[in-house]
Amino acid sequence: MSERVRVHKALADAGVASRRAAEQLVIAGRVAVNGVRATVGLQVDPAADEITVDGKVISAVGQSRVYLLLAKPAGVTSTVSDRHAEQTVIDLVPAALRQGAARLYPVGRLDRDSEGLLLLTNDGAWAQRMLHPRHGIEREYAVGLLQPLTVDQREQLTRGIALEEEVARLIALRPATSAETRRLVALLGDGVRGLAWYQVTLGQGMKRQVRRMFGGVNAPVHRLVRVRIGTLRMGEMALGDTRRLSAAERGQLEQLVAEPRRGLVVSVDGPGGSGKSTVGMRAAEVVGYRFCDTGVLYRGLTWLAMTRGIDTDDAGALVGLIAHMRLEHDDRQRYVRLIADSTEVTDELHTAAVDREVSSVSQHAQVRAALLPVQRGLADGGRLIMAGRDIGTVVLPDADLKLYLDVSVAERARRRAAERGVATDPRALAQIEAELRERDEIDSTRATSPLRIPDGATVLDTSGNSLGQTVDQVVALIRRAERGDTLDD
């Protein structure tokens, strides 16, 4: 016998209606269980009891669960039925994709004039998990404006806009890249080529939130396209297309709404060019952890100071810049994106100019102290690998597992030269090696948070290793620590 549940929940799980609407069906006397009129709160066994609505048998047993992704065109209503609508999203679903589903309905909504991704299902419990506000599943939108945003408008949107319900906030706001704009033109037609396009990410789910926020700064939205829901992206879908979600895609969405599990906090330290960020990132993907490269913060601050003409020796001015930048994760839970004044500048941070100045910025005690709360806050949920030069010594001295990657300066120089495409240039290679030696000297002798091997750390000499070999070593150490094994076991 299956678990007994209230009759309105059984109806919702069978895809008949939402729980609230199902309860109204019961109140209206339209629901019967084993031939007897149902009452509100009645407990039923969906696998054994015969449940009918208006005399029609509703069976949860044997009904196929359907999970679809639809690219909604403008002009289509995202409801199951609407007598005033010419077309609803359900009308767009091919009959072959509806097989086995008594009733499909959208998970959330898109305005009639908005376009893009929408989930459809007949699994009521799954839909509720996807929509629950505590999970804050990210949705990303392409926003087309007739005029570019002013600096003041962007700052207002970044701070948040007071709406009737509460303050509406954005997770991210940035101009669309040229590649993203070309994709939008291909998707929507040449008529959108002249629009100013922005990428906006939300975690909240207020009604018409994007349009209302932009309207609040006198920047009316001309076109609005949802291009991402959680880990699902538009990809090559055309407007009007519908496809099934794969088991892997559903699993990725389920991970986003799963209750957080406490896992290890792992620190990865090492000198510049030792590969700690790349190794930490790859290992995090293997073990299912979040990843943070704290160097992105210092590089972002360095880049911001250089572009604004601020002396990197002026600690007070540098601290003042911290409020203008934000570290964000990508859709794989890697905190590697740096947003400066609402603009993503991640790709600007790994230049030779930034390499030369970042040590000067990172040696200031005021700067490091100001960034500590940001870094430590990420570790609260566990299941995190954090890479840097003082993680196990200062930032996370109580990390569950501390690692230190060591490699010769000559090999580090060769690796960095290969990354920059100058591996065959002897002068460039020599310059990189000299810069690394100088940086090692600065990092290891500075008064504040000098580079050193953390107490209790496991040192991994990766000289001669391939990236895969080093990642395998790190993963093995994490798995042993998760099991509670000691290094002597």
- Using CA atoms, how far residue 402 sits from 370, 385, 476, in Å, is 23, 10, 13
**How much is the pLDDT for 259?**
58
The values of phi and psi at residue 168, to 5°, are -90, 130
Measure the CA angle with vertex 75, ends 70 and 78; round to 5°: 45
- Using CA atoms, how far residue 177 sits from 37, 197, 309, in Å, is 59, 9, 26
Segment among 37-51, 75-89, 351-365 with least mean pLDDT? 75-89
Mean pLDDT of the chain: 84
**How much is the pLDDT for 488?**
46
Residue 143 has pLDDT above 90, yes or no: yes
Instruction: Tell whether pTM > 0.75.
Output: no
Residue 60 has pLDDT above 60, yes or no: no
Q: How confident is the model at residue 61 (pLDDT cuts 50, 70, 90)?
A: very low
**How much is the pLDDT for 1?**
40
**How much is the pLDDT for 218?**
96
Give the C-alpha separation, 371 to 118, whole Å. Answer: 38
Give the C-alpha separation, 71 to 62, whole Å. Answer: 28
Give the C-alpha separation, 104 to 99, whole Å. Answer: 10
DSSP state of 146: S
Which has the higher per-residue pLDDT, 259 or 73? 73
Residue 152 has pLDDT above 60, yes or no: yes
CB 208 within 8 A of CB 165: no
The contacts of residue 125 (CB under 8 Å, 6+ apart) are 12, 13
Q: How many CB atoms lie within 10 A of CB 314?
A: 12
Query: What does the buried/exposed string (b/e) look like for 22-32 if buried means 16 or more CB atoms within 10 Å of the residue's CB?
Result: bbebbeeebbb
Give the C-alpha separation, 119 to 89, whole Å. Answer: 10
**How much is the pLDDT for 85?**
60
DSSP state of 44: E
Structure tokens at 15: 């895809």
Give the C-alpha separation, 357 to 312, whole Å. Answer: 7
Give the C-alpha separation, 167 to 368, whole Å. Answer: 31
- For residue 253, the SS3 value is helix
**How much is the pLDDT for 156?**
92
| pLDDT (tens digit per residue) in 314-345 | 988 999 888 888 888 887 788 888 888 878 88
- List of domains in the chain: 5-58 (3.10.290.10), 67-254 (3.30.2350.10), 265-483 (3.40.50.300)
Residue 449 has pLDDT above 70, yes or no: no
Residue 388 has pLDDT above 80, yes or no: yes
H-run or E-run covering 413: helix 409-419
Residue 82 has pLDDT above 80, yes or no: no
**How much is the pLDDT for 489?**
42
- Tell me the average pLDDT across 82-97: 77
**How much is the pLDDT for 260?**
52
CB 310 within 8 A of CB 321: yes
| pLDDT (tens digit per residue) in 195-220 | 999 999 988 888 899 999 999 999 99
Give the C-alpha separation, 17 to 11, whole Å. Answer: 7
- Tell me the average pLDDT across 163-171: 86
| pLDDT (tens digit per residue) in 102-128 | 577 788 888 889 999 999 988 777 887
**How much is the pLDDT for 62?**
45
Q: Give the relative orientation of helices 247-257 and 124-131 as an angle to the nearest 10 degrees.
A: 50
